[in-house]
Structure 1
Amino acid sequence: MSTQLLTNPTAKPPEPPPPDPPRITEEEAALQEADAEAEKKDARIQALESEVVALKAEIKARSKPEVNNEVANENKPAKETESTTWQTFEVTAYTSGYSSTGKSRNDADYGITASGERAVEGRTLACPPSLPFGTKVNIEGIGERVCEDRGGAIQEGHLDLYMTSESEALSFGRRNLSAEITD
Structure 2
Amino acid sequence: MQIPDPTQFEVIIKLPIFGFQLAPLAPELVQARQALQELRITHPEPLQSNVKGEYTSPWKSHLLNAKLQPLCQLVINLTEHAAKHHWNTDIRKLNFRLEVLDCWGSIYGNKGHTTPHTHFPADFSCVVYLDTEEGCAPLIFENQIKLNPMAGMIVIFPGVLLHQVPENQGQRTVVALNMFKVADFS
When normalised by structure 1's length, the TM-score is 0.24
| Structure (1 or 2) with the greater helix fraction | 1
More strand by share: 2
| Bigger relative contact order (CA 8 A; separation at least 6) | 2
Question: Structure 2 length as normaliser, TM-score?
Answer: 0.24
